[in-house]
């Protein structure tokens, strides 16, 4: 019986597959129902099944059909419920409650991921013309002959190196200070938190204006009129070393000035989130530890170093994982502040590159190859991070 119920559920989920699947589902279901009727169940089953089939067969695009299908399920349940055992009811409800999410995840997450993998093996897939199977060609070009991809990877690397430790450090300092029974806690917290809920589009527009070469506020503060932050492709390490007579090239030149400007903006945007999360982590640390440490004569610094920092490690671990994944998704601020990816593509990020390849150059298969590579990199990095850092993370509770 449970299998029958699973079939009911399956048929309902099938509405998201190509048309011929309706037919198969319908025949299966009808057969099963007829068998159940011959076995002596209520005749009320038939209208329920009928409604369900009509609803599904009509198509999932229109609301009445979906409602009809739901009505069918309802009728089925009503007809069947008195005869169902506890276990069967549980399985019926379990599947009924699970399938909408499951179906959506299948169609919009799992299937597209596999589809991306398939697309990445094709030769220049776009909507025009035929595309051929090209094997690993896209990957070969991407990994060995594409300087822009490596530029984007380099920028992502710098983004992680600069924003993750710095962000967590700043946020920890702010959170520890806020946790010192500060008055106006709500006021301070609001000010630190507001950037996080601000839409990146608007925030990037404001920072673009602050960075403006002629009328920007930053140039007035620093007394550097005319410095065009967002159009300066020189790497900061190269600039720092130039007076010493050392000329750094390529990757070692470091992130460009423009990209540093974008990183500062991103740091500002995310800091509030990190502060709030760390503050919650701090409040989970039992007060007794500090009291005991004070009795033993530990200084404030020692308390922070030997109690707060180790016990905060699950939170910082969580934040650094999030920062790592987030670095691969940097897009909005770059698009707004340097719409083309900056001078010499110096602010190109992975997601912007993927967007450019897919939606500006209409090379969906190449973009898919980028996506698959990113997926693999993120997976490997998180696994490595888990292995390496997990050992150092101190789980209390």
Partner 1 sequence: MTPPYALSRLLIYLVLSVGAIAMAFPFYWMLATSLKSPQEAQQARPIWVPERLKPANWRVAARLGAEGGSPLWGGYQDGRSVTLRIYTGRMGPEPQVFIPTAVGAFSDPRAEGTQIRTRYQEDHWEITFTNVSGESFRLLPAVVLLSKSYASYRPELPPDAVRSSGDDWRLEWVNLAPGALGYVFHNYREAWLAAPFGRYFFNSFITAGTQVLVGLLLAAMTAFALARIEFPGKNLVWLMILATLMIPGEVLLIPSYILLSRLEWINTYYALVVPWLASVFGIFLLRQFYLSLPRDLFDAARMDGASYWTQLVRIALPLSIPGLVTYGIFTFLGAYNALLWPLIVTDRPEMYTIQRGLQVFIGEAGSDYGALMAASTLAILPIVLGYFLAQKQFIQGVARSGIK
Contacts to partner 1 from residues 65-94, by CB under 8 A: 87, 89-94
Residue 223 Cβ, how far from partner 1 at the closest point, in Å? 11
- DSSP per position, 256-292: BHHHHHHHHHHHHHHHHHHHHHHHHHHHTS-HHHHHH
Footprint (CB under 8 A) of partner 1, residues 223-282: 225, 268, 271-273, 276-281
Q: Which of 160, 260, 327, 374 forms a contact with partner 1 (CB under 8 A)?
A: 374
Please, what is the minimum distance in Å from the beta carbon of residue 214 to partner 1? 7
Residues 168-227 that bind partner 1 (CB under 8 A): 170, 173-174, 177-178, 180, 182, 186, 188-203, 205-210, 212, 214-215, 217, 220, 225
Q: Would you say 126 or 247 has its CB closer to partner 1? A: 126
State the minimum distance, in angstroms, from the CB of residue 351 to partner 1: 5
DSSP state of 276: H
Tell me if 93 sits within 8 A of 5, measured CB to CB: no
Q: Which is nearer to partner 1, 121 or 328 (CB)?
A: 328
**Under a CB-based contact definition with an 8 Å cutoff, are residues 348 and 342 in contact?**
yes
| CB of 99 closer than 8 Å to CB of 13 | yes
Nearer to partner 1, 252 or 359 (CB): 359
**For residues 247 and 305, which CB has a smaller minimum distance to partner 1 in the complex?**
305
What DSSP line would sit under 325-385, residue for residue? HHHTT--HHHHHHSTTSSGGGTT--HHHHHHIIIIIS--HHHHHHHHHHHHHHHHHHHHHH
Q: Which residue has the tokens 């770059």?
A: 334
Q: How far is the CB of 249 from partner 1 (least distance, A)?
A: 29
Please give the backbone phi and psi of residue 133, each rounded to the nearest 5 degrees, phi first. Answer: -75, 125
Residue 198 phi, psi (nearest 5)? -75, 135
Check if the beta carbon of residue 166 is closer than 8 Å to that of residue 267: yes
d(CA 339, CA 308): 42
Judged by CB under 8 A, the chain residues 341 through 370 that form the site for partner 1 are: 350-351, 354-355, 358-359, 364, 367-368, 370
Residue from 119, 153, 253, 263 binding partner 1 (CB under 8 A): 119
Does 378 participate in binding partner 1 (rule CB under 8 A)?
A: yes
Q: Are 317 and 324 in contact (CB under 8 A)?
A: no
Least distance to partner 1 from the beta carbon of 247, Å? 34
* Closer residue to partner 1, CB minimum distance, 199 or 240: 199
Rule CB under 8 A: is residue 134 a binding residue for partner 1? no
Residue 240 CB, nearest distance to partner 1 (Å)?
23
Name the E strands within 58-208.
122-123, 132-133
Q: Which is nearer to partner 1, 192 or 235 (CB)?
A: 192
Rounded least distance, CB 283 to partner 1, Å: 9
Structure tokens at 105: 């995840």
Residue 24 token pair: 């198969």
- When asked if residue 336 is in the footprint of partner 1 (CB under 8 A), the reply is yes
Applying CB under 8 A, among 300, 306, 360, 394 the residue interacting with partner 1 is: 300
Residues binding partner 1: number (CB under 8 A) = 107
- Binder of partner 1 out of 24, 169, 222, 325 (CB under 8 A): 325
| Rg of the chain in Å (alpha carbons) | 29
Residue (253 or 317) nearer to partner 1, CB: 317
Identify which of residues 24 and 177 has a Cβ nearer to partner 1 in the complex.
177
Range list of β-strands (E), the chain: 122-123, 132-133
Other Cβ atoms within 10 Å of 118 Cβ, number: 12
Q: Which is nearer to partner 1, 144 or 397 (CB)?
A: 397
3-state SS string over 150-186? HHHHHHHHHHHHHHHHHHHHHHHHHHHHHCCCCCCHH
Interaction of residue 380 with partner 1, rule CB under 8 A: no
């Amino acid at each position: 019986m449970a299998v029958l119920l699973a079939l009911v559920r399956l048929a309902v989920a099938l509405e998201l597959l190509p048309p011929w699947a309706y037919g198969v589902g319908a025949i299966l279901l009808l057969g099963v129902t007829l068998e159940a009727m011959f076995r002596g169940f209520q005749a009320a089953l038939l209208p329920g099944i009928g409604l369900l089939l009509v609803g599904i067969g009509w198509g999932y695009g229109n609301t009445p059909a979906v409602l009809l299908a739901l009505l069918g399920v309802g009728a089925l349940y009503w007809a069947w419920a008195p005869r169902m055992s506890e276990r069967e009811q549980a399985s019926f409800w379990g599947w009924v409650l699970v399938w909408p999410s499951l179906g959506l995840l299948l169609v919009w997450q799992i299937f597209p991921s596999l589809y991306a993998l398939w697309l990445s093996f094709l030769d220049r897939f776009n909507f025009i013309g035929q595309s051929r199977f090209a094997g690993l060609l896209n990957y070969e070009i991407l990994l060995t002959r594409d300087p822009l991809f490596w530029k984007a990877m380099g920028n992502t690397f710098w983004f992680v190196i600069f924003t993750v430790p710095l962000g967590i450090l700043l946020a920890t300092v702010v959170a520890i200070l806020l946790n010192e029974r500060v008055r106006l806690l709500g006021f301070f917290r609001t000010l630190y938190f507001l950037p996080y809920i601000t839409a990146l589009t608007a925030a990037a527009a404001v920072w673009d204006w602050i960075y403006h070469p002629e009328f920007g506020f930053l140039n007035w503060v620093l007394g550097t009129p005319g410095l065009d932050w967002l159009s300066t492709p020189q790497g900061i390490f190269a600039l720092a070393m130039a007076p010493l007579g050392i000329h750094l090239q390529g990757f070692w030149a470091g992130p460009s000035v423009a990209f540093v400007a974008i990183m500062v903006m991103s740091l500002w945007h995310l800091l509030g989130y990190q502060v709030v999360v760390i503050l919650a982590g701090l409040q989970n640390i039992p007060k007794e530890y500090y009291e005991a440490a004070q009795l033993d004569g530990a200084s404030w610094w020692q308390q922070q170093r030997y109690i707060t920092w180790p016990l905060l490690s699950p939170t910082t671990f969580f934040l650094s994982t999030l920062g790592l994944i987030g670095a691969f998704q940097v897009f909005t601020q770059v698009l707004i502040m340097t719409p083309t990816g900056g001078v010499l593509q110096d602010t190109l990020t992975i997601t912007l590159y993927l967007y450019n390849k897919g939606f500006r150059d209409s090379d969906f298969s190449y973009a898919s190859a980028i996506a698959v590579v990113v997926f693999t990199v993120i997976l490997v990095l998180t696994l490595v991070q888990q292995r390496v850092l997990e050992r150092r993370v101190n789980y209390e509770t």
